[in-house]
Amino acid sequence: MYDLVAYDCWSKDDRWLPSGSPCWRGVLSLEQLTRRMTTFSEVATKGRAKCWSPVRLRPMESGQYRRRNSLVDFISCLVVDLDEGGIDREGLRSALGEVHAIYHSTYSSTPEHPKGRAIMPLDKPCPAALWPRMWQWVEERLGAVVDRACKDPARVFYVPSHPPIGHCESWVQRAPVLAVDYMALPMTPLEQKIEARKQRQREPVVFDSRDLCKLLRDPRYRLKAAEDLGARIMGDRATSIPCPGCGRNDVWFLIQHPGKARCNHVNTCGGSYWLDQLLERV
């Protein structure tokens, strides 16, 4: 089963834009997904068609669901727009192997200048944190024909549609779904840079929690403070620290940048703490 969310579109200054909140969240079987992505609707303008995204969203504190990269938990399908020169079925098979693929032309496609979208359901949903590695893997195989705008986890796509007098085309390559070992994928250049920085910071530090100047400005001290606080370290961000104010594990701070630690719950808590204040509670 594949997680999907759908969005309506709304008009602003004579432009049709995807809504920020989904109008539908659910799961589809492989057959349902294949059938839906090869069924075209006729619309006067592209913006009148509904949008969709192959993701599982988590709600905000208010309980609402919003279209944001930071709220994506998993991505269930690899979707690539093939607008920069196009690629045929054989080219896709050569690049990604014999995998289940769904292709449909996009709204502006013409016989002279074909444009399309390929959808590859994934054997296991890809965690959003590993999506940059997955996209790097895709670009290595498909190269310049891939539209890089598709790499955002929360990216939305229009359902198959065509103008009143227009061109539409679809095909399905039925095969096992795409299986990728996400953890085994090479790190992105950004991840490599962060990891190299961490290695440099792991030299022994004589730690004094009362040295406020170093806790404020020295990344090595701030990293050591994050470890002592039991924080979850994600790149430059230390998260999941217990909040002295509301008791929830939602305090965070940046390791490479000076400043206080803050609680995520701005409206209900609004906690802001110096690192030595948090260390006193350990």
DSSP string of the chain, one letter each residue: -EEEEEE-EEEETTEEEE-SS-SEEEEE-HHHHHHHTT--EE-SSGGGS-EEE-EEE---TTS-----GGGEEEEEEEEEEE-SS---HHHHHHHH-S--EEEEE-TT--SSS--EEEEEEEEEEEEGGGHHHHHHHHHHHHGGGS-GGGGSTT--EEPSEE-SS----EEEE-SPPB---GGGSPPPHHHHHHHHHHHHHTS-----TT-HHHHHH-HHHHHHHHHHTTPEEETTEEEEEPPTTT--S-EEEESSS-S-EEES-TTTT--EE-HHHHHTT-
Partnered with residue 23 across adjacent β-strands are none
- pLDDT value of residue 240: 92
pLDDT for 243 equals 92
Separation in Å, CA 150 to CA 169, 207, 254: 21, 44, 28
User: Is residue 251 pLDDT above 70, yes or no?
Assistant: yes
State how far the Cα of 235 lies from the Cα of 10, in Å rounded to an integer: 36
**Stronger pLDDT, 84 or 23, i.e. the higher one:** 23
Selection from 117, 105, 99, 106 nearest residue 175 by Cα: 99
pLDDT of residue 191: 85
Contact 50, 40 (CB under 8 A): no
Amino acid in the structure at residue 228: D
Mean pLDDT over 216-232 rounds to 86
**pLDDT confidence band for 210 (50 / 70 / 90):** low
Domain-wise residue ranges, the chain: 2-184, 189-279
Q: Give pLDDT, residue 215.
A: 82
Q: How many residues does the chain have?
A: 282
In terms of DSSP bridges, do strands 157-158 and 24-28 run parallel, antiparallel, or are they unpaired? unpaired
If one compares 3 and 77, the residue with the highest pLDDT of the two is 77
pLDDT band at 263 (very low <50, low <70, confident <90, very high): very high
- β-partners of residue 237 are 234, 254
Confidence of residue 94 (pLDDT cuts 50, 70, 90): confident
Dump pLDDT digits (tens) for 56-79: 988 888 888 888 888 889 999 999
Tens-digit pLDDT profile for residues 147-179: 677 788 888 888 888 888 878 888 888 889 999
Stronger pLDDT, 10 or 78, i.e. the higher one: 78
Residue 4 has pLDDT above 70, yes or no: yes
Q: What is the pLDDT of residues 120-151, one digit of tens each?
A: 999 999 998 899 999 888 888 877 566 677 78
Q: What is the pLDDT of residue 250?
A: 92
Q: Are 143 and 57 in contact (CB under 8 A)?
A: no
Q: What percentage of the chain has pLDDT greater than the value 90? A: 17
